[in-house]
Amino acid sequence: MPLNRFCSVALLALATLGLGVTFAPVPTQAQVAARDGIDFDAYMELLKARARAEGVSEATLNRMTAGLTPNARVIRLDQGQPGRPTRRGYPAMAPYIRTHVNSARISGGRSVYRANSAELRRAERDYGVPAEIIVAIFGHETSYGRIRGNFDLSRSLATLAWEGRRRDLFAGEWVALMKVADRGFSRQELVGSFAGAFGNPQFLPSVYLRLATDGDGDGRANIFSNRADTFASIANYFRDAGWRTGQPWGVRAAVPRGFDVDAYRTELVSPVCSRVHERHSQWKTVAEWRALGVQPQRALPDDALTSLFQPDGPGEPAYLLTGNYRVILEYNCSNYYAMSVGLLADEIVN
């Protein structure tokens, strides 16, 4: 679920992980209402007026809003999302990796990789993003297309915009969804997560409009059932986020006994998902890490800038992360997610 620059709903992943975060009280059915007291139908007229002004057809607005009512479950789910971080530390990475980079997901990824080799190679050639990374994202987001969500996106996004906690975000996404619908997608097709992500890559509507790609030349970017379009769209996202062709996401590293990782802790504070970089080191070249005794276990150029990450502490697996790891974090700003994507990609081709 793409986040960061593209205002995604990837915080959903943090909710399932339970990464030492606090949660807002979950409202009851009777407590669900707009924060400013505006009537839902009145608010929808404002939203529709905005969509008309941005070129959405009346026919699309009619079919996408017929019988529309607020969805109390969506508001309860949204208000149950993570709040401010606590200081309780981090769950171990290894159990999460075992669960998310397991034999079923690896074998499923290898099957997709083999069965769609032509489409994947075309996406890799056109966008410079490795096929195995594309497949790993596909696997993590929707279990290779099997689990995409079944919420009516028009209803969900309208509800979240009306409720008002993040009105600007969701109002914009609702209007973007109308533009997607205006391209010929039915309301029955436009279903997905409660917070608006949809299709095999779990794009928000605004991300779809910016980056969804026609991968097979049929004139339509169908990220629901067309794998060529799915792969091209994921690859286009990664290229847009700055993926560097020919560079891995990261490699295992051998850290000498007694090495003080904390001495090289980064001072970087991310404005989005503030805890994501807390355990990363400063950026140093591979040559500089070698001089300190840290040895990459796969080939990396001496001048490649990398960050040392040892998520489970001394004596546990350590990694030198490249800038491409941070591109994965653009998709979902969780180290658990990004590490599992990278490791799954490696397993798919190894």
Compute φ and ψ for 246, nearest 5 degrees: 85, 0
- Cα separation, 231 vs 39, in Å, equals 41
Q: What is the pLDDT of residue 279?
A: 87
Higher pLDDT pick, 34 / 86: 34
204 neighbors 2 (Cβ within 8 angstroms): yes
What H or E segment, with its residue span, contains residue 84?
A: strand 82-85
Q: What is the pLDDT of residues 120-153, one digit of tens each?
A: 999 999 999 999 999 999 999 999 999 999 999 9
Handedness of CA 337, 335, 198, 124 (dihedral sign): negative
State the Cα–Cα distance between residues 204 and 200, nearest whole angstrom.
11
- Is residue 195 scored above 70 in pLDDT? yes
Mean pLDDT across 220-243: 97
12-26, 163-177, 247-261: least confident range: 12-26
Q: How many CA atoms lie within 13 A of 150 on its CB side?
A: 2
45 contact partners, CB below 8 Å, separation of at least 6: none
d(CA 337, CA 16): 11
pLDDT at 35: 80
Distance between the two ends of the chain, CA-based, in angstroms? 26
Residues 6+ apart with CB under 8 A from 301: 286
Reported confidence tier of residue 15, pLDDT bands at 50, 70, 90: very low
DSSP-based helix, strand, coil % in the chain, nearest 5: 50, 10, 40
Q: For all residues of the chain together, what is the average pLDDT?
A: 89
State the DSSP code for 213.
-
State yes or no: pLDDT of 21 exceeds 70.
no
pTM equals 0.88
pLDDT of residue 82: 52
Taking only the tens place, the pLDDT of each residue in 46-88 is: 999 999 999 999 999 999 999 999 999 999 998 876 544 445 6
